[in-house]
Structure 1
Amino acid sequence: MPFNTALTRKLGIRIPVVQGGMQWVGYAEMAAAVSNAGGLGIITALTQPSPEDLRKEIQRCRSMTSNPFAVNLTLLPAMVPPDYGAYAKVVLDEGIRIVETAGNSPGPIIKQLKEATPPCVILHKCTSIRHAMSAVKLGVDFLSIDGFECAGHVGETDITNFILLSRARQTMPVPFIASGGFADGQGLAAALSLGAEGINMGTRFMATVEAPIHQNIKQSIVDAQETDTELVLRRWKNTSRLFKNKVTEQAVKIEKESTTGKFEEVGPLVSGKRGRQVFLNGDPDYGVWTAGQVIGLIHDIPTCEDLLARIETEAIDTLSKASSLIVDEQPPADIAGKKIGEKSDPRDEGTSIAKSKL
């Protein structure tokens, strides 16, 4: 039973679930598996060392699925920033017309993507309403509203999705999807009820058969509690939610106790290269890696097909149950008890005993 939301209509997908653009996870096999299962798979551009490598990855993904998939372009501060324009050109040259953007100053890239023929459909990820409104002015088609529960960059406003999504519903002139804290069909139903057109899942897709990461890391997610994440780099206003391990504990200790406040003191611990090795060697304590609070809701490692089928069924069932709560006539209360004065009332029994003693 397909969904009918602005997201499914625009993108041509069956289930309104988007796979997050995860660094070192968003490879072709991940994206293809999600797209084949009815959602929107995403290749993460910067997992590829060059624009030409991205071209090969897009072509590899196309060989594995005939369904729509997207590419993520995240713009982050760097001493030597990647050639984002060249990556975007490859996206356009390869005929990709769905792009997830995120990060700082996306205006030039969004302009480049929108000037294509036909123009790209752009999903832009934001952690605050203020940033979302700025993205609307740039011409994005969908906003991906990223709550404080999410993995990775959480922003600095600490607003959770229950409030953030309602604020988006009240203020956003373009459709939006919900990101951060989603792992099941009940979450999808809740997001739709709050005004979203679908959901974005990252951590949940890491714990799937097709996720191109070590089995030990998938099992670490399954075994974790919702309390097993850590906020790191808050001191430098680059707050990231990471899986709590020995390295994040060291990083947080330095962050809190450093008298100089120099990023160089913590830099080697939060190195992305070191974090990438975690997914390859399977040691969850080797480096830092992103995970959302949703890890507390993840209890298995299914295929993407089984996961999305389950989410679809759960969401439909949840929405149907919610609809059944609306009735034509209010039913009588079932906790009214018996009227005062009836013999079975303990207070009356006490009164009778008292009278018998008079």
Structure 2
Amino acid sequence: MRTRFTELFGVTHPVVQGGMQWVGRAPLVAAVANAIALGFITALTQPTPEDLRTEIRRARELTDRPFGVNLTILPAITPPPYAEYRQVVIDEGVPVVETAGANPVEHLEHFHSAGIKVIHKCTSVRHALTAQALGVDALSVDGFECAGHPGEDDIPGLVLLPAAADALEIPFIASGGFADGRGLVAALALGADGINMGTRFMATVESGIHQNVKDRLVEAGERDTRLIFRQLRNTARVADNAVSREVVERLAAGAAFEDVRELVAGVRGAKVYETGDLDHGIWTAGMVQALVRDVPTCAELVSRIVREAEEIIGGRLAGMAQAVVVAGS
């Protein structure tokens, strides 16, 4: 299944495991790479740039196939040493970087000078056009269904993806709401060149999070997420649990961020993945968890998605097209 994306990034399958805080570690990323798809180590999951270097080398011990690093750029009073993380990526010869959050312009020249391709994650067509004009190599376009930050426009993928296809010239992958072959076929039909999955890859054997979290993803439905920070215009889609419900209630009652800061602390979310206590903190999950019904290996998952997509394209859709031709002859 060749697309502009597979050609540009040298992978066989148009399936991507996007960067996920506390999840995108070497064993998962290497397993995705060995399934001849594209996975991303999450840079800021690593406490220091040198820890990132160690994690990249750890992944290389597990796979000889290409993988990337996610660098999420967020505003902060004391920002992480982004330039140092960036230099580790360059020094280690990582072939592709996924940027997200703020405008990646200050990093692009450095990555491109080192021959590194950049995929930038966007939640709107206008932001995608800006990133394209800056010179990124490809885009990840996130619909409102996605886990994490879906932006403030609330545009679902069924509208956002064809709108992006009409406006963009460079390849892009579809993110938010994808878990199986049906989604891959739909994304391709809507104009994307592949799919980016986070929640679905969380529920795999190689994902290093607690089994309780994986089991919850299998059990959960499409209504079992919460949108927090709506009032702050920094919307995030997270799992529905006691903490996310309390955050929503406090902010709806007029609380400020300082009033919920302790509840949403990243260290609490990390503990959920480590201990399996689903109500300890905020953790991300997309609406697509409704389509997650097992915990396969990454190889099994990628193979199944591609097989399902090929069967749909070569079977049901081909049969429908032939029936239309016959009916019209």
TM-score normalised to the size of structure 2? 0.97
Matches of 1:121 and 1:47, distance apart in 2: 21
Matches of 1:93 and 1:112, distance apart in 2: 11
Counterpart in 1 of 2:231?
235
Mapped contact 1:177–1:198 kept (Cα < 8 A):
yes
Deviation at 1:153, TM superposition (A): 0.5
Aligned: 1:244 with 2:240: yes
Q: Which residue of 34, 37, 40 maps to 1:36?
A: 34
Question: Secondary structure in 1 aligned to 2:161?
Answer: helix
Counterpart in 2 of 1:95?
93
Mapped contact 1:111–1:138 kept (Cα < 8 A):
no
Question: Secondary structure in 1 aligned to 2:327?
Answer: coil
Counterpart in 1 of 2:290?
296
Amino acid at match of 1:90: V
Mapped contact 1:69–1:98 kept (Cα < 8 A):
yes
Deviations 1:73-128 (A, max 9, x none): 00012121011111111101101121100111211012221122xx2111110001
Counterpart in 2 of 1:61?
59
Deviations 1:186-215 (A, max 9, x none): 100110111111000000000000000000
Structure 2 unaligned runs (5+)? none
Counterpart in 2 of 1:200?
196
Deviations 1:4-47 (A, max 9, x none): 11111111111110001000000000100111012101100001
Q: Which ranges of 4 or more aligned residues in structure 1 deviate by more than 3 Å? A: none
Mapped contact 1:214–1:282 kept (Cα < 8 A):
yes
Counterpart in 2 of 1:218?
214
Q: Matched residues, percent identical?
A: 53
Question: Secondary structure in 2 aligned to 1:62?
Answer: helix
Deviation at 1:265, TM superposition (A): 0.4
Amino acid at match of 2:268: R
Counterpart in 2 of 1:104?
102
Deviations 1:278-298 (A, max 9, x none): 000101111000000001001
Amino acid at match of 1:231: L
Amino acid at match of 1:59: R
Deviation at 1:331, TM superposition (A): 7.4
TM-score normalised to the size of structure 1? 0.89
Q: Name which one, 1 or 2, has greater alpha-carbon Rg.
A: 1
Aligned: 1:185 with 2:186: no
Matches of 2:318 and 2:97, distance apart in 1: 35
Question: Secondary structure in 1 aligned to 2:321?
Answer: coil
Matches of 2:45 and 2:30, distance apart in 1: 16
Counterpart in 2 of 1:165?
161
Amino acid at match of 2:67: F
Matches of 1:84 and 1:182, distance apart in 2: 30
Q: What is the aligned residue count?
A: 326
Mapped contact 2:19–2:40 kept (Cα < 8 A):
yes
Counterpart in 2 of 1:318?
312
Structure 1 unaligned runs (5+)? 333-358
Matches of 1:31 and 1:242, distance apart in 2: 22
